[in-house]
Amino acid sequence: MILKVGVVRDDRYLLHQTGLDHPERAARLKTVYRMLDKEFADALITIEPEPATLEHLELVHTPAFIRKILKTSEHDFINLAPDTPVSSQSYISAWLAAGGCIRGLQALLSGRCDAVFCLVRPPGHHATPDKAGGYCIFNNIGIAAKYAIERHGFRRILILDFDIHHGNGIQDLFYEDDSVLYLSTHSLGRYPHTGEWSETGTGRGLGYSVNIPVPNDISDMDFLYMYWKLLGPIMRYYRPELILVAAGFDGHHRDPIGRTQLTEQAFRWITEAILELRDAVKSPPLLFALEGGHDAAALADCVKQVLDVLTWKERRPRIPLLLSPKGKSLVERAEAVHRKYGVWIS
């Protein structure tokens, strides 16, 4: 089946200036947008973002925090956190990043698109209700998920986060909530120093946070094996009605921060796995939102791989799944931690 694939893009995402040496800079998206124009000129539906409304933002953030972000417009430069500088027009990008994810979701819910990639910045998965940090201001995916739950009655949302950093902001939002299953693969010993195996949720949300710390020498095949073996049972047992992907590409080996051994192929294979496995649950709508990825050329290569798969005219034979001892031991540990909750494995 040919998917109708949308992208959220807008040059106002370049207004957020972070300084010359900052890894999360406008050049990232400029390079990605150039790649889109060259490689996908007629293949994508362009979705224009609108700023998030106050009502959208307050699904996640406190009124005082939202006011604080608005007031950054009074400064040429100011730090919201030691690693999160903003310029006088950053608030425009931030409002549009959250609003762009809402627009992307609306395009899915209306049937205009089957899959959407929100190519936005600043990223969001580290943002908490009252704190910016880790280059993130508003929690773009968290807001989209809350919107889907509260405005559209979704009860089973899978959020998959393959950024090399743990998405502490997303996890916090849904830690006590069984309407979101949050699956994160990340490496430990880095910002934000959360995402241990033992963080599995609490109360009603017990068993719905699935954290898989991965070693730095993880390879593409390990990654594919791990995702294939985890997503299969998650699709079958949890049966998500909506899939949101916190798409961070800083695991790429050329990334100045990530430095694992992954190549852009890993992200192609994950996308293939998601597409194939979601067929088992009537192909729920699929939204990717950009998180990390700080080598502009590597980032564009990774995004291209994801969009290549989404825009395929026909399903191609996927790469044969080879046994990966590293991938297998990660999956077995996840199963051992989570079997007692019976959420996706019993």
Binding site for Zn ion (CB under 5 A): 163, 165, 248, 250, 292
In the complex, least distance from residue 291 CB atom to Zn ion, rounded to whole angstroms: 6
Minimum CB separation of residue 248 from Zn ion in Å reads 4
- The minimum distance between CB 309 and Zn ion, in angstroms, equals 22
Task: For the CB of residue 51, give the shortest distance to Zn ion in the complex, in Å.
Answer: 25
Closest CA to 168 of 133, 198, 203, 202: 133
Residues near 330 by beta carbon (within 8 Å), at least 6 away in sequence: 212, 214, 222, 226
Q: Which residue is nearest to Zn ion (CB)?
A: 292
Mark whether 294 is an active-site residue. no
**Contact criterion met (CB below 8 Å) for 139 and 173:** yes
Consecutive H or E run containing 180: strand 180-186
In the complex, the smallest distance separating the C-beta of residue 164 from Zn ion, rounded to whole angstroms, is 5
Distances (CA, A) of 11 to 104, 292, 294: 16, 18, 18
Backbone region of residue 201 per phi and psi (left: phi > 0; alpha: psi in -120 to 50; beta: other values): left
3-state secondary structure of 31: helix
Residue number, 207 or 258, with CB nearest to Zn ion: 258
104/292 with CB nearer Zn ion: 292
Q: CB-wise, 163 or 199, nearer to Zn ion?
A: 163
Q: 284 Cβ partners below 8 Å, 6+ apart?
A: 240, 241, 242, 243, 278
When the beta carbons of 163 and 295 are compared against Zn ion, the nearer one is: 163
Between CA 268 and CA 309 the distance in angstroms is 7
Q: Out of 16, 125, 126, 252, which one is annotated catalytic?
A: 126
In sequence order, which residues have a C-beta less than 8 Å from that of residue 245 and are 6 or more positions away? 159, 160, 161, 162, 274, 286, 287, 288, 289
The residue among 293 and 327 lying less far from Zn ion, judged by its C-beta, is 293
Q: What residues does 116 pair with on adjacent strands?
A: 6, 287
- Residue positions annotated with a catalytic role: 126
